[in-house]
């Protein structure tokens, strides 16, 4: 898998689903968000039975495992290391599936916004349903699902649907 240090490079790839949006929020809400919005790499790890590994981090419900990426960090390495830790077995990434760019602007101005990226990668399928015995403290639970959990919707459900029927 080719390293990725700048997700902007994915915008022109025909094999990557690209979503770009701008959200306008009240100035007070924008100020509260400043410094708390992170970019993430999410990894869809399928198995040989058509299930996908999901995590519950306590705030988003069941979702693809996702890991914070700081500016200049290598996205594929962070995704691979993070999902390997959750699965407890070596995992290799196959290809990027989706790029989501979100610009957040304070109401009444077009300057000084926040830009974040979320990149979803497909991992090479693994055998069985491996899960680590050492779940990280910032994750409530890890499990395998063969469908989108009923309580999940929106962008997180759309990301899961890339990997299950």
d(CA 20, CA 111): 17
The whole domain housing 33 covers 7-161
Q: How many domains does the chain have?
A: 1
Q: Is 2 inside any structural domain?
A: no
Predicted confidence at residue 85, as pLDDT, reads 96
Section 51-71 average pLDDT: 94
| pLDDT level of residue 71 (50, 70, 90 thresholds) | confident
The tokens of 6 are what? 């700048």
79: alpha, beta or left? (left if phi > 0; alpha if psi -120 to 50): alpha
* pLDDT per residue as tens digits for the range 35-57: 778 899 999 999 999 999 999 99
Residue closest to 74 by CA, chosen among 27, 9, 128: 9
144: CATH: 3.90.79.10
- Which of residues 31 and 126 earns the better pLDDT score? 126
Region 129-146 average pLDDT: 93
Q: Are 94 and 21 spatial neighbours (Cβ–Cβ below 8 Å)?
A: no
Work out the mean pLDDT of the chain and round it to a whole number. 93
Structure tokens at 28: 């007070």
Domain contains 70? yes
pTM, two decimal places? 0.91
Full DSSP string of 124-140: PPBSS----SS--TT-S
């Amino acid at each position: 898998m080719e390293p990725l240090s700048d997700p902007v490079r994915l915008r022109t790839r025909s094999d990557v689903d690209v979503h770009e949006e701008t959200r306008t929020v009240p100035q007070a809400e924008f100020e509260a968000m400043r410094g708390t919005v992170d970019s993430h790499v999410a990894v869809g790890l399928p198995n040989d039975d058509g299930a996908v590994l999901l995590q519950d981090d306590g705030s988003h419900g069941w979702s693809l495992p996702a890991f914070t990426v700081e500016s200049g960090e290598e996205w594929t390495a962070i995704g691979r290391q993070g999902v390997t830790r959750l699965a407890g077995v070596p995992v290799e990434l196959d290809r990027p599936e989706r790029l989501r760019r979100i610009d957040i602007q304070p109401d009444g101005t077009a300057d000084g916004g926040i830009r974040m990226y979320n990149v979803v990668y497909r991992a090479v399928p693994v055998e069985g349903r491996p899960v680590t015995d050492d779940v990280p403290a910032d994750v409530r639970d890890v499990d395998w699902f063969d469908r989108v959990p009923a309580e999940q919707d929106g962008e997180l459900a759309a990301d899961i649907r890339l990997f299950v029927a």
